[in-house]
Copies of this chain bind each other. A is one copy, B any other.
Amino acid sequence: MTATGERFAKINAMPAYQQVAEAIERKIVDGGIRPGEPIGTEAELVRQFGVNRSTVREGIRLLEQGGLIRRSSDRRLFASLPRYQRLASRISRALVLHEVTFRELFEAMMAMETATIEQAVDHATAADIAVLEANLERTVAAEGKPGTLAELDTEFHTLLANASHNRVLQLAREPSGLLIYPTTEIIFEKVRESQPRLVAAHRHLIEAVRGRDKDAARSWMRRHVNDWRKGFERSGKSLDHPIERVYAEHLMVASGERR
Contact = CB atoms under 8 A, between A and B. Distances in A.
A115 B119 contact: no
A111 B22 CA distance: 34
Nearest to A179: B168
A196 interface: no
A128 to B, nearest CB: 16
Interface string A50-67: 000010011101111111
A168 B95 contact: yes
A47 B104 CA distance: 42
Nearest to A123: B107
B249 A100 contact: no
What range describes how many residues of A lie at the interface? 35 or more
B167 A252 contact: no
A122 B256 CA distance: 39
A134 interface: no
Copies of the polypeptide in the assembly = 2
A97 interface: yes
A94 interface: yes
B256 A108 contact: no
Contacts of A105: 168
A103 to B, nearest CB: 8
A82 B94 contact: yes
A29 B94 contact: no
Residue of A105, A110, A112 with most chain B CB atoms under a 10 A cut-off? A112
The 6 closest A-B pairs by CB, nearest first: A111-B115, A61-B61, A108-B168, A82-B94, A172-B172, A104-B166
